[in-house]
Structure 1
Amino acid sequence: MIGLWHAMIEGPGMKMKVQFKLAKKSSYTLDVVCAPLPLPLKVTSIEVEGNIVRGVGHVFWSPEESWSVQLAFGEEAFEGELYVPKFGKFPLQGLRGSGPMLSEAIMTQLEPYRRVSPIPERSDEDIRLAVDELLKKLSLEEKIGQMFQCMASNFSFGGAIASDPPEKLVSEGRVGSILGAFDISRVFELQKLAVEQSPHGIPLLFNADIIHGSQTIFPVPLAWSCSWDEEAIRRACAISAKEATASGIIYNHGPMVDVTRDPRWGRVVEGAGEDPYLGSVIAKAQVEGFQGEGLSDPETLIACLKHFIGYGAAEGGRDYNTVDISEGTLRNVYLPPFRAGIQAGAGSVMNAFNLFQGVPVAANRFVLKELLRDELGFDGVLISDYGSIDEIVHHGNAKDNEEAARLAVNATMDIEMVTRSFEALPRLVAEGKLSESQIEEAARRILTLKYKTGIMDDPFRYIRPEKEQEYHFHPDHLMESREIARKSIVLLKNNGVLPMTAGRGKVALIGPFADSRDLLGPWQFSRYEHETVTLYEGLEGKGFGTNQLLYAQGSEVNAPLEGGIEEAVAKAEQADIVVLALGESSSMSGEAASRMSIELPEAQMRLAEAVAALGKPTILVLTNGRPLVLQWFETHPNVHAIVESWFLGSQAGHAIADVLTGGYNPSGRLTMSFPVHGGQVPVYYNHFSTGRPVTAANKQEKYISKYIDGPNDPLYPFGYGLSYTQFAYSDLRLSSDKLSASGELLASITVTNQGKAAGEETVQWYVNDCYGSVVRPVKELKGFQKLALEPGESKEAVLRITSSDLAFWSTGEGEVAENGSFVLFVGPNSRDTLSAEFELHD
Structure 2
Amino acid sequence: MKYSSLILNCLTAVILSACSLQSQKQDIIESRVEELLGQMTLQEKIGQMNQLTSTGNVDEMVTMAKEGKIGSFLNITDAKVVDRIQKAAVEESRLGIPVLMARDVIHGYKTIFPIPLGQAATFNPQLVEEGARIAAIEASSDGIRWTFAPMIDVSRDARWGRIAESCGEDPYLNAVMGVAMVKGFQGDSLNSPTSIAACAKHFAGYGASEAGRDYNSTFIPERLLRNVYLPPFEAAAKAGCATFMTSFNDNDGVPSTGNSFILKDILRNEWKFDGMVVTDWTSTTEMIAHGFCKDRKEAAMKAVNAGVDMEMGSASFIEHLEALVEEGKVSEASIDNAVRNILRLKFRLGLFEHPYVTTDQSVKYAPEHLAKAKEAAGQSAILLKNTDGVLPFGKNVHTLAVIGPMADAPHDQLGTWVFDGEKSHTQTPLTALREMYGKQVQIIYEPGLAYSRDKRTEGISKAVATARRADAVVAFVGEESFLSGEARSLADLDLRGAQKQLIAALAQTGKPLVMVVMAGRPLTIADEVKASNAVLYSFHPGTMGGPALADILFGKTVPGGKLPVSLPKMVGQLPIYYAHNHTGRAPNGNETLIDDIPLEVGQVTLGSTSFYMDAGFGPLFPFGYGLSYTTFKYSNLHLSSHTLRQGETLTASVELTNSGQREGTEVVQMYVRDKVGSVTRPVKELKGFRRVTLQPGERTTVSFQLPISDLAFWNIDMKRVVEPGEFTLWLGTNSDEGLSADFEVIDEKARR
Q: Same fold (TM over 0.5)?
A: yes
Which amino acid counterpart does residue 824 of structure 1 have in structure 2? L
Judged with a 3 Å threshold, the aligned counterparts in structure 2 of structure 1 residues 641 and 587 are, in CA distance, closer, same or farther, namely same
Q: Which moved more, 1:802-811 or 1:746-755?
A: 802-811
* 1:139 counterpart (32, 38, 41): 41
| 2-structure distance, mates of 1:528, 1:130 | 41
How far is the alpha carbon of 1:164 from its aligned partner? Answer: 11
* 2:701 counterpart (791, 796, 800): 796
| 1-structure distance, mates of 2:207, 2:280 | 15
| 2-structure distance, mates of 1:802, 1:215 | 41
In structure 2, the gaps of 5 or more residues are 1-21, 594-605
C-alpha distance after superposition, 1:318-359 (max 9, x if no partner): 110010011111111111111111111011000011112210
Residue 256 (1) aligns with residue 151 (2): yes
Which amino acid counterpart does residue 425 of structure 1 have in structure 2? L
C-alpha distance after superposition, 1:432-469 (max 9, x if no partner): 11111111111111111111111112321xx13x601x
* 2:339 counterpart (425, 431, 443): 443
In proportion to residue count, which structure has more strand?
A: 1
1:424 alignment counterpart: 320
Q: Is the 8 A contact 2:452 2:497 kept in 1?
A: no
* 2:380 counterpart (488, 509, 517): 488
How far is the alpha carbon of 1:546 from its aligned partner? Answer: 10
* 2:131 counterpart (202, 227, 236): 236
How far is the alpha carbon of 1:389 from its aligned partner? Answer: 0.1
Pairs within 5 Å for 1:487-506: 487-495=379-387, 496-501=389-394, 504-506=397-399
Q: Is the 8 A contact 1:540 1:546 kept in 2?
A: no
Q: Secondary structure at the match of 1:642?
A: strand
C-alpha distance after superposition, 1:716-771 (max 9, x if no partner): 00000000001011111222221112323222111111100011111111111111
| 1-structure distance, mates of 2:401, 2:543 | 23
How far is the alpha carbon of 1:154 from its aligned partner? Answer: 5.0
1:615 alignment counterpart: 510
Pairs within 5 Å for 1:162-561: 165-422=60-317, 423-460=319-356, 463-464=357-358, 467-468=360-361, 470-495=362-387, 496-501=389-394, 504-517=397-410, 518-545=412-439, 548-555=442-449, 556-561=451-456
| 2-structure distance, mates of 1:367, 1:696 | 41
| 1-structure distance, mates of 2:223, 2:35 | 43
Q: Is the 8 A contact 1:348 1:381 kept in 2?
A: yes
Q: Secondary structure at the match of 1:280?
A: helix
* 2:678 counterpart (757, 773, 786): 773
Q: Is the 8 A contact 1:502 1:661 kept in 2?
A: no
Count of matched residue positions in the alignment of Structure 1 and Structure 2? 710
Pairs within 5 Å for 1:543-582: 543-545=437-439, 548-555=442-449, 556-561=451-456, 563-582=458-477
1:17 alignment counterpart: none
In proportion to residue count, which structure has more helix?
A: 2
Judged with a 3 Å threshold, the aligned counterparts in structure 2 of structure 1 residues 121 and 698 are, in CA distance, closer, same or farther, namely closer
Percent identity, please.
Answer: 44
How far is the alpha carbon of 1:136 from its aligned partner? Answer: 1.9
| 1-structure distance, mates of 2:395, 2:155 | 39
2:17 alignment counterpart: none
| 2-structure distance, mates of 1:442, 1:164 | 28
1:657 alignment counterpart: 550
Residue 708 (1) aligns with residue 708 (2): no
| 2-structure distance, mates of 1:643, 1:713 | 21
| 2-structure distance, mates of 1:541, 1:739 | 58
Q: Is the 8 A contact 2:591 2:616 kept in 1?
A: no
| 1-structure distance, mates of 2:570, 2:295 | 43
Which amino acid counterpart does residue 435 of structure 1 have in structure 2? S
Q: Is the 8 A contact 1:212 1:218 kept in 2?
A: yes
Q: Is the 8 A contact 1:767 1:825 kept in 2?
A: yes
> Which of structures 1 and 2 has the larger relative contact order (alpha carbons within 8 angstroms, sep 6+)?
2
C-alpha distance after superposition, 1:765-812 (max 9, x if no partner): 111111110110000011112211111111111122232021111242
Which amino acid counterpart does residue 530 of structure 1 have in structure 2? S
Give the RMSD, CA atoms, in angstroms. Answer: 1.8
2:714 alignment counterpart: 809
| 2-structure distance, mates of 1:427, 1:453 | 32
Residue 676 (1) aligns with residue 578 (2): no
| 2-structure distance, mates of 1:516, 1:627 | 19
How far is the alpha carbon of 1:545 from its aligned partner? Answer: 4.2
Q: Which moved more, 1:195-204 or 1:650-659?
A: 195-204
| 2-structure distance, mates of 1:164, 1:258 | 38
Q: Is the 8 A contact 2:150 2:200 kept in 1?
A: yes
2:536 alignment counterpart: 643
| 2-structure distance, mates of 1:445, 1:744 | 38
Which amino acid counterpart does residue 145 of structure 1 have in structure 2? G
C-alpha distance after superposition, 1:194-240 (max 9, x if no partner): 23443322110000111111111111110011111111111111111
| 2-structure distance, mates of 1:623, 1:643 | 9
Q: Is the 8 A contact 1:262 1:683 kept in 2?
A: yes
Q: Is the 8 A contact 1:212 1:221 kept in 2?
A: yes
**Displacement over 6 Å in runs of 4+:** none
Q: Is the 8 A contact 1:473 1:528 kept in 2?
A: no
| 2-structure distance, mates of 1:567, 1:515 | 17
| 1-structure distance, mates of 2:395, 2:433 | 9
2:32 alignment counterpart: 130
Judged with a 3 Å threshold, the aligned counterparts in structure 2 of structure 1 residues 711 and 165 are, in CA distance, closer, same or farther, namely farther
| 2-structure distance, mates of 1:796, 1:697 | 36
How far is the alpha carbon of 1:561 from its aligned partner? Answer: 4.2
Q: Is the 8 A contact 1:686 1:779 kept in 2?
A: yes
Output the TM-score relative to the length of structure 1.
0.82
Q: Is the 8 A contact 1:291 1:303 kept in 2?
A: yes
Judged with a 3 Å threshold, the aligned counterparts in structure 2 of structure 1 residues 502 and 444 are, in CA distance, closer, same or farther, namely farther
Q: Secondary structure at the match of 1:235?
A: helix
Which amino acid counterpart does residue 249 of structure 1 have in structure 2? I
Judged with a 3 Å threshold, the aligned counterparts in structure 2 of structure 1 residues 821 and 697 are, in CA distance, closer, same or farther, namely farther
Which amino acid counterpart does residue 376 of structure 1 have in structure 2? W
Q: Is the 8 A contact 1:259 1:276 kept in 2?
A: yes
How far is the alpha carbon of 1:514 from its aligned partner? Answer: 1.2
Judged with a 3 Å threshold, the aligned counterparts in structure 2 of structure 1 residues 630 and 562 are, in CA distance, closer, same or farther, namely closer
Pairs within 5 Å for 1:63-74: none
Residue 835 (1) aligns with residue 730 (2): no
| 2-structure distance, mates of 1:524, 1:650 | 11
| 2-structure distance, mates of 1:527, 1:648 | 13
Q: Secondary structure at the match of 1:175?
A: coil
| 2-structure distance, mates of 1:356, 1:383 | 18
Which amino acid counterpart does residue 177 of structure 2 have in structure 1? I
1:67 alignment counterpart: none
2:4 alignment counterpart: none
1:53 alignment counterpart: none
| 1-structure distance, mates of 2:423, 2:81 | 21
Which amino acid counterpart does residue 368 of structure 2 have in structure 1? D
How far is the alpha carbon of 1:126 from its aligned partner? Answer: 1.3
2:3 alignment counterpart: none
In structure 1, the gaps of 5 or more residues are 1-119, 156-162
1:762 alignment counterpart: 667
C-alpha distance after superposition, 1:118-150 (max 9, x if no partner): xx9981111111122211221101100000001
Which amino acid counterpart does residue 437 of structure 2 have in structure 1? G
Output the TM-score relative to the length of structure 2.
0.92
